[in-house]
Chains A and B, each alone.
Chain A
């Protein structure tokens, strides 16, 4: 009690009333989360405004509800401005006073955000109290230019064999995860976060998972999963659920990028996952139509491409002069019936540095992750792979492509020669080896060793059906019996001659014991 009284007394003693004039406007019309404001003639685009319900109320009424309602200036018109309400739009009424805040929409960032669940304004939504972040940064800003950037050549391991071997992602890259509903897009993203635990602490990126238009139950499940796996120690979850205003869903990815940039500018690595940009595009379309901007294709506004390009351009690998930090972006796009040629998917495909395409057919056949390696690509390529992975994964993509061709041919004929049968079996075995359960990302050295075994014929003595089980046994065996080899690969990031010899001996011993 005493402390509360002292705190209040301290506040009163140190209180300096704000002097000077504030620019204000009056709500002319409000509805659907958009307010038209009369006045504010000096307001600028993306500026924050504050709806002030206390102005025309008595002190008693005003103190009942002092929760600030912010707005974001989105349209500047001749004698009014249109503002997206960032909060409870039902509390905004005609005649309400609106104050200019004189700053662009900003969010608090800082190391204290790590482990927290926040909304696009940086306010905590996990019930753990204030985040303590003090530094404010604008959520919209220009991306780094060419001079400030360095080549993307440091791998960001997802822990998924099929990706790290065939579609490698580099720190600072933008790799799209695209596929129909329920094909495992979020699972890949979450596995990528979980896998960062396998990285040494000094090289571990800060992960930012941005949930856009998701069910709150799904986000809660993801947070619980990350907490259980100890991944919240390096993760920030930013959520704009389906129930939140369209403006929140439109802003969430930009807020995620701003948080990521904060870490990048400190010379650290950050990974941001936008789950998903289709929903952000829909939210932006809603806002644009309500703002009476002219609709274009599929009723999206004309600047929908720019919306995504200016967001994804913020992913970067900074030069050493700028600290050498990086921001990797994994945007997610949901397709309808596998149609990658729709408006938003083609836009985002053309912006990103590659895509991981997930197929419903593969998913239903039991291929998990359901990656269609034929049309998945990483434009950064092997320059973002460790020497070890580069050495073992060189042939896989070609072999799998040949296998898929033969597999299609096989459907029309039953009479196949021995060589073709062998090739098909090898392809099937490789497919089985690449299967992976969700929530079980593998460290890169383990992936390299498993792929080394598969490409060097160590699984040839087993049927394709057995390959998956044998692969699991092999991993257990290697952890038990070949720890030195794994450690050497992890530390040196390559398979040296000595390690290779040792590995071959271990693999032969394993095959002898298993067959």
Chain B
């Protein structure tokens, strides 16, 4: 099952929509002929998981206010995170934070305040 999922993942990454559609059709035909149609929902679930993980690891910048967007994007790019999307998250209080492929750069006021709080109560 993992093999089928990996192949489909690779096809989705590299091929256009038409080729991908053809690959899925071929897979279904193959599963039917080998009597393994029961695997189809599992393959779909695995692909959904991979999609969710990708979205999670996609470059992403959050800012505390609209006016900080430009500066946040530039600073994130300097830190190695090249994001297209910027979301406003007021819970950050000030500053920004960015994530990409498991790396996090947190320059927010919230993080600084929590760090100070932890230091004082330690």
Contact = CB atoms under 8 A, between A and B. Distances in A.
A17 B103 contact: no
B119 interface: yes
A24 B102 CA distance: 5
B104 A99 contact: yes
A63 interface: yes
A15 interface: yes
Given A7-B120, A11-B119, A66-B117, A21 B110 contact: no
B91 A54 contact: no
A21 B117 contact: no
A45 interface: no
B112 interface: yes
A41 B103 CA distance: 10
Contacts of A58: 91, 110
A25 B102 CA distance: 6
B104 A21 contact: yes
Contact of B116 (A11, A54, A57, A97): A11
A66 B114 contact: yes
A62 B102 contact: no
Contact of A21 (B93, B103, B112): B103
B115 interface: yes
Contact of A59 (B57, B102, B114, B119): B114
A23 interface: yes
Nearest to B57: A39
Given A7-B120, A62-B114, A22 B103 contact: yes
Give the interface size bracket for B toward A: 20 to 34
B105 A40 contact: no
Interface residues of A, number: 28
B69 interface: no
B80 to A, nearest CB: 7
B82 interface: no
Given A38-B53, A59-B93, A17 B102 contact: no
A466 B116 CA distance: 71
B112 A17 contact: yes
Contacts of B114: 54, 59, 62-63, 66
Contacts of B91: 57-59
B105 A20 contact: yes
Given A15-B112, A59-B114, A41 B102 contact: yes
A450 to B, nearest CB: 53
A26 interface: yes
Contacts of B110: 54, 58-59, 62
Given A26-B56, A62-B110, A21 B79 contact: yes
A8 interface: yes
B118 interface: yes
B115 to A, nearest CB: 7
Given A22-B106, A23-B102, A24-B102, A59 B79 contact: no
Interface of A: 7-8, 11-12, 15, 17-18, 20-26, 38-41, 54, 57-59, 62-63, 66, 79, 97, 99
Given A15-B119, A22-B104, 16 more contacts: A11-B120, A17-B115, A21-B105, A22-B105, A24-B104, A38-B56, A39-B57, A40-B102, A41-B102, A59-B93, A59-B114, A62-B110, A63-B117, A66-B118, A66-B121, A79-B53
Closest 8 CB pairs of A and B: A39-B102, A24-B104, A21-B103, A58-B91, A21-B105, A17-B112, A22-B104, A59-B110
26 contacts: A7-B120, A8-B120, A12-B116, A15-B115, A15-B116, A17-B112, A20-B79, A20-B105, A21-B80, A21-B103, A21-B105, A22-B103, A22-B105, A22-B106, A23-B104, A24-B104, A25-B102, A41-B102, A58-B110, A59-B114, A63-B114, A63-B117, A66-B118, A66-B121, A79-B53, A99-B104
Interface of B: 53, 56-57, 79-81, 91, 93, 99, 102-107, 110-121
